[in-house]
Structure 1
Amino acid sequence: MSDLGRLIANRYRLVERVGRGGMGTVWRAEDEVLGRHVAVKKLHVPPHLPDDEVQRRHERTRREARSAARISHPNVIVVHDVVDDEGLPCIVMEYIPSVTLGDVLKERGTLPVGEAARIGRIMATALRAAHDAGVLHRDVKPANVLLGHAGRIVLTDFGIAVESGASSLTRTGELVGSIHYLAPERLRDGGAEPGPACDLWSLGTTLYQAVEGRHPFDRDTAIETAYAIAADPHEPPRGAGDLTPVIEGLLMKDPGLRMDAQEAERLLGHVAAAGTTPLAPTTRLENAGAPESPTPPAPSAPKRRRARRTALWIVAAAVVAATATGGVLLWPRGGGAPTNTDASGTSTSSPAPPSPAPAPLPAGYHLETASQGFSVPVPDGWTAKKVPGNEMAYIGPSELAGLRVDVVQFAGSDPLQHWRETEEDQTRRDNPGYERVRMAPTTFRGRPAGYWEFTFQGKVRKYRAVELSFTGTDGTQYVVYLSAPNAQWDQYRPVFDTAIKGIRLREQSGAHAP
């Protein structure tokens, strides 16, 4: 028997069914007391469902209402009431004439980068408000983003949200949420408890789908998709343009290194304001004899150790363009969460915790020893380049990617503080198109470390750089740095991860040399 026309709680007349999901049906209803339209979500209870499962669904519905009601934000759905209908709870919400982002993507395939950034920025804002209120959404996906006919964008469906301090409604070993949008940490280690970073992963997946027209980890079966999310690298986005650094930052496998909501909101705002369109595919330099990026003059000797070398260490053909612009770059995953690599150097699994000792050399790498007494794995075929000072510097066969390792002294004991102090007046000034992807504390073999990842614009193509700074047990400070074309970042990133995992410090080089 159809529910059309039924009166719920002696007040809400069901007028039109507007949506249906696994847990319930959403109706447009007429509030006969206030004379306005509302949305009513009715719970599904299949026949012969065990009593304990019925009770769990009841409680989940009530929690959905409470979770959404805790968040006061224009881009989060407003809950008016929870009422009873023949023994089943129903959520009464604001009614927003709209389509879902999922419906739009099914119809149009992709969105322009600027529009995707605008929607993504608002989603990041809504998630930040939810997290500040102690609520994790846990089911961020295109189907749960309403695109209002009047231009309003609203995050909806808090059906599996969880509040801080609330007891779990999830059975041991049970994962809730749409498999395509689950963060890798939920699929590994027995299903880690969700945190805000899980919602940010889902946002990254949604943005990828919005500009690429496909899911970054879609496979033939749900099991294969889950494995890909947990272990495989994603194909770099091709149509994301200036949205690429945000997507890459949100799709970091390690939740500790993943871009947070505030940073995503800031960067998405920049892209949306610029109305960016996808960038043309990058090409090799026509004139291979010139560096792609500007090379600012090196600082004077007394300042050099305090200066931060930026990501503009790029080579075109035989020229190494090394820049020293006010500090030393840190690597976001620096030692704390490298990806595993196969014999070809391709990333094959999710980040793993560091070990106290260096990892064995993978196939395709050899150990290079610096004059300062440390050693680092370098890919076969990469050649040493002369750079100022006593740094180790190696360039790949394409002459567009470079690895550097140095022993340095910062202005003080906290490299993160120094980077933040010099980021605006030096790094951004000296690096056209500079955008921070991640700057955060991390650990390296159990000791504090700093990680810094960013993108910048060369003369021909966009680049990405990553740096890790850490201190050995003997007090020596190390910096490991990689820069490479952003479009081929997944290809080159394992070089950095292998260097971090396998570096033999001065106090270790003798004991752990292969």
Structure 2
Amino acid sequence: MSAEEGQLVAGRYRLLERIGRGGMGTVWRAEDELLGRQVAVKRLHASPHLADDELATLYERTRREARSAARISHPNVVVVHDVVDDGGRPCVVMEYVPSRTLGDVIKEQGPVTPQEAARIGRGMVAALRAAHAAGVLHRDVKPGNVLLGDDGRVVLTDFGIAVATGASTLTKTGEMVGSIDYVAPERVRGGKPGPASDLWSLGATLYQAVEGSPPFRRATALETAYAIAADELTPPRRAGALTPLIEALLVKDPEQRPSAEAAERSLRQPDTVATAEAATGGRTGSAPAGVTSDAPTRPRVATAVLPAEAAPQDDGGQRRTRPGRARRVTVWAAALAVLAGAAVAGATALRGNGDAGGSERSAAGKPAASGSALASPAPPPLPDGYHLVEEKELGVSFPVPDGWTRTLPSGAEERNEIAYVSPSGLVGIRISVRDFAGPDPLQHWKDDEAASVQEGKLPDYRKLRMQSTSFRELPAAIWEFTWQGSAREWRASALAFGRSGGKEHVIYLSAPKAEWQRHKHVFSDIMGGYRLPAPEQDG
């Protein structure tokens, strides 16, 4: 028996058997000793990576969302009975449904038939209609949250509960809800979720049900998020009559997706080849997902990509050959010291990580001349309020917020870098491109961290995350942290990436910690539009 098995929660619910575990919490089959019935109890995980204020926000949001979900009464929705505290952490008490998840079925038995997918889809869309009518968004529709009851019942669970994190989510708590494979394009771009976002997730779930894998899954979460926002859909091969509906649900533009009512009508005729018009409820202007005109207009790829376990996300990196490593570390430590001491410096000592293309414009925001040497995948349009700059000395281009000022930090020529600073002078980005990337980006950050702390460049330093990753299929490492400046506390995100022996790229963002939530999207937007030279992009 585990340490938790047999435990009594809230003086009432006896934990009997662990029946599920995900990124947000563990689900137990339990006995309600007051009413003498079996229930499911979901206990949230206490992530060691989250600060106290972030945990408090997570817990309070969970309580509020679960209470909202309790308003839904529908046979295809798991009933939420109660929300109780267990050692300060909220526990959600739900109806117990003997079942397996659709995710488990796909994993163990492979894809289901189009007819079975249609049956499952009918239950899911009925649940979504009931939830949306009650003013509740699910925000984490995925195979793992679809219960296939032993009695044939289809039940959607975790309504409004997974508000903080998901199995593949790579963002700060509360920033991105749900597992990245099933997050709609508008949410990847930082937009507000709506009923159409749940319907996109329904489409992604149906796609996986018949194909065996999510529609836009790539090697990394960052690449998956970019694919969701910008790539064309690979049409399903095994969906049969469900193909038009699935493609319509996965359209990039939420306004062009079918309504829940139209989707339900299509799902009730699985043996008939539905037309695209029927799938979209007779709306005009609809196009299959992947049509270039459906490309997103505000990509914020990074907000959906970095691991959820890390509260803030940042990347930064500088790489040289081993002989120059000690000097490089010293240079970056010096830059951080300037950041802590002055507002403008604080904004320009940034580093960040990025991974997407941006439209071609000159530094003045005008279209660049044809024949550019920059070769990235077909980029989505620039985010609203940005213009694209082309730094010819660095050989890259990237989006910059309108009104930000270009500046050359001290030693910029030696380090081959450029900085842009916000009008307030407190927020800034720094881009660096150097020769000879090292073999291990993570070790690079570890060396920089050790040198900066040892030399006292980062007073009251706190590491939020440091880990290996990949960017544009290149080795990369992320480092994000906070430190105390002379007048305020700062927070930074940095990404270093590049193939060993090739160019080393660093994107860095810093801002006052108190203003981080308002400005962190800049890091994501720059990553979303960062364009590499053709030789590096091609391999």
Q: TM-score, normalised by structure 1?
A: 0.52
**1:158 shift after superposition:** 2.6
Matching residue of 2:44? 43
Amino acid at match of 2:293: P
In 2: Cα distance, 1:211 partner to 1:65 partner: 31
Matching residue of 2:477? none
Matching residue of 2:152? 151
Distance 1:181 1:350, change over 3 A: farther
Superposition map of 1:356-505 within 5 A: none
Amino acid at match of 1:270: Q
Distance 1:102 1:57, change over 3 A: same
Matching residue of 1:225? 224
Superposed structure 1 runs of 4+ greater than 6 Å apart: 170-173, 349-353
**1:175 shift after superposition:** 2.0
Amino acid at match of 1:206: T
Superposition map of 1:21-420 within 5 A: 21-47=22-48, 49-160=50-161, 174-188=175-189, 191-271=190-270, 274=271, 330-332=284-286, 338-339=293-294
| Residues 102, 142 of structure 1: 8 Å contact kept | yes
In 1: Cα distance, 2:90 partner to 2:132 partner: 26
Distance 1:329 1:222, change over 3 A: closer
Bigger radius of gyration among the two = 1
2:244 aligns to what SS in structure 1?
A: helix
Distance 1:210 1:52, change over 3 A: same
Amino acid at match of 2:37: R
Distance 1:193 1:171, change over 3 A: farther
| Residues 162, 177 of structure 2: 8 Å contact kept | no
| Residues 338, 352 of structure 1: 8 Å contact kept | no
CA displacement, residues 67-125 of structure 1 (integer Å, 9 cap, x when unaligned)? 32121111111011122222222111111101000000001110011000010111111
Amino acid at match of 2:133: D
In 1: Cα distance, 2:250 partner to 2:112 partner: 19
**1:337 shift after superposition:** 8.5
In 1: Cα distance, 2:72 partner to 2:175 partner: 27
Matching residue of 1:408? none
1:174 aligns to what SS in structure 2?
A: coil
**1:184 shift after superposition:** 0.9
Amino acid at match of 1:218: R
CA displacement, residues 115-164 of structure 1 (integer Å, 9 cap, x when unaligned)? 000101111111111111111111100000011111111111135467xx
Amino acid at match of 1:338: S
Amino acid at match of 2:44: L
**1:349 shift after superposition:** 6.3
**1:338 shift after superposition:** 2.3
**1:43 shift after superposition:** 1.8
Q: TM-score, normalised by structure 2?
A: 0.50
Amino acid at match of 1:229: I
In 2: Cα distance, 1:78 partner to 1:329 partner: 34
CA displacement, residues 289-330 of structure 1 (integer Å, 9 cap, x when unaligned)? xxxxxxxxxxxxxxxxxxxxx99xxxxxxxxxxxxxxxx995
2:224 aligns to what SS in structure 1?
A: helix
In 2: Cα distance, 1:122 partner to 1:52 partner: 38
In 1: Cα distance, 2:84 partner to 2:254 partner: 38
In 1: Cα distance, 2:283 partner to 2:50 partner: 57
In 2: Cα distance, 1:127 partner to 1:209 partner: 18
CA displacement, residues 204-245 of structure 1 (integer Å, 9 cap, x when unaligned)? 011011111122111111111111111111111111110011
| Residues 30, 38 of structure 2: 8 Å contact kept | yes
**1:46 shift after superposition:** 3.3
CA displacement, residues 370-393 of structure 1 (integer Å, 9 cap, x when unaligned)? xxxxxxxxxxxxxxxxxxxxxxxx
In 2: Cα distance, 1:330 partner to 1:15 partner: 53
Distance 1:251 1:350, change over 3 A: farther
2:177 aligns to what SS in structure 1?
A: coil
Distance 1:78 1:239, change over 3 A: same
| Residues 339, 348 of structure 1: 8 Å contact kept | no
Give me the CA root mean square deviation. Answer: 3.4
| Residues 339, 350 of structure 1: 8 Å contact kept | no
Amino acid at match of 1:28: R
In 1: Cα distance, 2:381 partner to 2:246 partner: 18
In 2: Cα distance, 1:47 partner to 1:2 partner: 20
| Residues 148, 155 of structure 2: 8 Å contact kept | yes
In 2: Cα distance, 1:106 partner to 1:183 partner: 23
| Residues 162, 178 of structure 2: 8 Å contact kept | no
| Residues 69, 160 of structure 2: 8 Å contact kept | no
In 1: Cα distance, 2:33 partner to 2:283 partner: 62
In 1: Cα distance, 2:49 partner to 2:214 partner: 36
1:84 aligns to what SS in structure 2?
A: strand
| Residues 68, 76 of structure 1: 8 Å contact kept | no
1:91 aligns to what SS in structure 2?
A: strand
**1:60 shift after superposition:** 2.6
1:135 aligns to what SS in structure 2?
A: coil
**1:251 shift after superposition:** 0.7
**1:173 shift after superposition:** 9.5
Distance 1:102 1:351, change over 3 A: farther
| Residues 233, 348 of structure 1: 8 Å contact kept | no
2:31 aligns to what SS in structure 1?
A: strand
Q: Which runs of 5+ in 1 are unaligned?
A: 163-169, 280-309, 312-327, 354-514
In 2: Cα distance, 1:205 partner to 1:352 partner: 26
| Residues 232, 349 of structure 1: 8 Å contact kept | no
In 2: Cα distance, 1:48 partner to 1:259 partner: 39
Identity rate of aligned residues, in percent? 67
**1:63 shift after superposition:** 2.3
Paired residue total: 290
Amino acid at match of 1:195: G
**1:250 shift after superposition:** 0.2
In 1: Cα distance, 2:256 partner to 2:381 partner: 10
2:67 aligns to what SS in structure 1?
A: helix
